[in-house]
Structure 1
Amino acid sequence: MTTLPQPPDILSAEFAADPYPAYRVLREYYPLLHDKGTDSYLLSRYEDVQRAFREAVFTTDNYAWQLEPAHGGRTLPQMSGREHSARRALVAPAFRGRELQERFLPVIERNARELIDAFRDAEEADLVAQFATRFPVNVIVDMLGLDRADHDRFHGWYVAVVGFLANLAQDPAVAAAGRRAGEELAAYLRPVLRERRAAPGDDLLSVLCAAEIDGTRMSDQDITSFVSLLLAAGGETTDKAIAGTFRNLLSHPDQFAAVRADRTLVPVAFAETLRYTPPVQMIMRQPAEDVTVSGGTVPAGSTVTCLIGAANRDERRYARPDEFDIFRTDLTAANAFSAAADHLAFALGRHFCVGALLARAEVEVGINQLLDAFPTMDFASGTAPAEAGVFTRGPENLALRLTPAAAPGSDRGLTARRPGGPRTSP
């Protein structure tokens, strides 16, 4: 008789240290498990998580308690039907196509360059503290056309709001800090919005103030909640994706050498990182009616925790799922940043991440500029640092030994590589 392993506890220290063995147990023996610690039903297989993201029966009603208190109002992910399609149509154009390339790519390039310049001549740097965690927040502040002197202030709000969203154990101090950050951010933005409505500029806040679809416009509350969401979701994904991509590549020197030699592999390495070590490990849903999945039935109205980190390593979907391999044939980089993605890191369907292309642009610019600035880099300790986190996950630090690039005179550091393209002057 085969003895079943004990169901994993996703709030345990063992799980936090390394969730991937627990994910294997869940997929194999407990594809549907009611987790008492979070009072939610865990889905771990690719097919089931994919269904939860695509099928309308799995609603986002759970975001009323999970997101709204920190963001200060209803946000795009918790909307549905016409309300969702109208709001998404208002914000989406700023994060794709010509708008992204012409208006905001220079902002991304400048912020990457400025952060790298601060340690460009260093022989060692912490890529998380000195680059990854600051870069996306700084970009968002500048896209919004806000005071660059407030970069640190926004970083503090970002940390607090992300802490609220990741607070699976419901620590009251963490929850209070997240709510307070949301309130402070909204108070900061309200007078700025009055100014932008009266005298619009070419920044993202002005775009959001002026956007109109079928007579629908965004209120101040809509915009402040969206900015809070953008700060948290946009910052956390890019922050951990950059650090995770370097950690994964440096742990596989042959693949790192391949990416350095052929920069068209940068988005491929990013896509494989999203599969192998997704920054967001889990997303919740709430079924409107009883739903049958692998292992049983999820009751209507319950909370479903979709374990992206488990589904993205499902052996039913991927060959050698526990191996990082940028050359794998069962992941297509060409659609990795669209709603047709082969991985689940950005969700799927109607709630596919609206900022996926912004994240791609930030990660590609950041990685390319770092590779340009440092011809050699390696782990300062000789080994890869551990990852940390349960709801979101990535290295807390990434100390690297660096060899700065030799550059002639004052031209040093004044070039940038655009995603997928040649060097250009900023």
Structure 2
Amino acid sequence: MSSAHAAPDILSAEFAADPYSAYRIMRAQHPLIRHEATGSYLVSRYEDVERAFKDPVFTSDNYDWQIAPVHGRTILQMDGREHSVRRALVAPAFRGRELQDRFLPVIERNAAELIDGFRATGHADLVADFATRFPVNVIVDMLGLDRSDHDRFHDWYTAIIAFLGNLSQDADVIATGLRTRAELAAYMIPVIRERRAHPGDDLLSTLCTAEIDGVAMSDEDVKAFVSLLLAAGGETTDKAVAGVFRNLLANPDQLAEVRADRSLIPAAFAETLRFTPPVHMIMRQPSQDVTLSGGTVPAGATVTCLIGAANRDPARYADPDTYNVHRADLTTANAFSAAADHLAFALGRHFCVGALLAKTEIEVGIGQLLDAMPDVVPAGGELPPEKGVFTRGPGSLPVSFTPARPLAA
């Protein structure tokens, strides 16, 4: 097919500055691109990305080289009964009464503590002062680890995310990621063994003692899941908190609606997951030749699923480049389940196990931030741009508001 536009390069500075313009060109003119620098095929249309997530011919074998070096072997690399049993061991802690009764107080406390750090000042950077800290602190506390190690875990989280998003294969980023895996293992394995011997009322103890049909998680399984939780659970919520607030600040009428009706927070989160997803790319690997829009992908090749492009596909969504918390073609009730209308949490058997945890964190975090900042506006009147390629969100989000007394007072 002839075209006036060359296929965009996902490693270019132009793409990093504005991927959404590139996504429009990809969907319309280059729905399947062989990207030599990453050795993968790029797919950008909703129907193709959805199929890659749901069709069993697409495997997660790519994770053996993509994430195993930094995490070890996780449930993302497992299939069949091995995957279903491991998922069943961990899933109960992230849904229903377990989540609400055991961990909601942890989430509420961590949000309040971080907000108290700037509540009385009248200004904050919602990324540096809240979003990037909040989910990591919650995970550390859910696991029952030493709260004095929040900063250490934040450093590990930052290194892991940099490793996973290292599309250009920077050697220093790789070395830091590998060092982080060793440091995290040295920290976690003794704690895991202690919890097996003396379990408590925390998530780590639950992971150490859970058993289904005689199958339990090994020390390495638990450590790998903690590493995965730190990265996947931290990055999605980190970028989503900042993304929800940035999208609402960019649409003051919708911000006013959400402030007046907090039941709209899940809709604002769901629309943010569609409009500005925290993770823009997830990879899959077909076990046989597969025909997609634009051509055929050979068996064993890596397919880079461009979530950021698919979630703005006009063939799936009306007016896709507009943020709308009242969107009729996005069902909030399904947005945090495997039946979601968006692709930000993937779909199928590898749908994000922590989606409901992320939803709870967003509801609490956004709600408390709105309470603390009733007249919040962008500092200087400007909203900073998004940053990132593999994962993407505001690099900073300075805001101003009328100071209030800390809750502790």
Give the TM-score band, short-chain normalised.
over 0.9
Shift of the alpha carbon at 1:3? 4.1
Shift of the alpha carbon at 1:194? 1.4
Return the alpha-carbon distance in structure 2 between the equivalents of residues 142 and 111 of structure 1.
9
* SS of equivalent residue, structure 2 residue 400: strand
Return the alpha-carbon distance in structure 2 between the equivalents of residues 77 and 8 of structure 1.
29
Q: Aligned ranges for residues 102-251 of structure 1 at < 5 Å?
A: 102-251=101-250
Residue by residue, what CA displacement relative to the aligned partner does 1:323-381 show, whole Å, maximum 9, x if unpaired? Answer: 11111100011110000000000000000000000000011100000111111101102
Q: Aligned ranges for residues 25-424 of structure 1 at < 5 Å?
A: 25-71=25-71, 73-405=72-404, 413=407
Q: Could you tell me whether the CA contact under 8 Å between 1:38 and 1:168 is conserved in 2?
A: yes
Residue by residue, what CA displacement relative to the aligned partner does 1:366-420 show, whole Å, maximum 9, x if unpaired? Answer: 0000111111101102121100000000001000011234x6xxxx5269xxxxx
Return the alpha-carbon distance in structure 1 between the equivalents of residues 37 and 177 of structure 2.
21
* SS of equivalent residue, structure 2 residue 282: strand
Shift of the alpha carbon at 1:123? 1.4
Q: Could you tell me whether the CA contact under 8 Å between 2:3 and 2:29 is conserved in 1?
A: no
TM-score where L is the length of structure 1: 0.95
Q: Could you tell me whether the CA contact under 8 Å between 1:136 and 1:362 is conserved in 2?
A: yes
Counting matched residue pairs gives 409
Q: Structure 1 residues 184, 2: CA separation in 2 closer, same or farther (over 3 Å shift)?
A: closer
Q: What are structure 1's unaligned runs of at least 5 residues? A: 416-426
Q: What are structure 2's unaligned runs of at least 5 residues? A: none
Match of 1:403, as an amino acid?
Answer: T
TM-score where L is the length of structure 2: 0.99
Match of 1:94, as an amino acid?
Answer: A
* SS of equivalent residue, structure 1 residue 344: coil
Match of 2:308, as an amino acid?
Answer: G
* SS of equivalent residue, structure 2 residue 381: coil
Match of 1:46, as an amino acid?
Answer: Y
Return the alpha-carbon distance in structure 2 between the equivalents of residues 155 and 100 of structure 1.
23
Q: Could you tell me whether the CA contact under 8 Å between 2:248 and 2:254 is conserved in 1?
A: yes
Residue by residue, what CA displacement relative to the aligned partner does 1:254-310 show, whole Å, maximum 9, x if unpaired? Answer: 000000010000010000000000000000000000001111111000000000000
Return the alpha-carbon distance in structure 2 between the equivalents of residues 385 and 393 of structure 1.
13
Residue by residue, what CA displacement relative to the aligned partner does 1:192-227 show, whole Å, maximum 9, x if unpaired? Answer: 111111110001110001100111000000000000
Quote the RMSD (CA, aligned, Å): 1.2
Which residue number corresponds to residue 419 of structure 1? Answer: none
Q: Could you tell me whether the CA contact under 8 Å between 1:63 and 1:77 is conserved in 2?
A: yes
Q: Could you tell me whether the CA contact under 8 Å between 1:373 and 1:413 is conserved in 2?
A: no
Match of 1:230, as an amino acid?
Answer: L
Q: Could you tell me whether the CA contact under 8 Å between 1:375 and 1:404 is conserved in 2?
A: no
Return the alpha-carbon distance in structure 1 between the equivalents of residues 124 and 403 of structure 2.
11
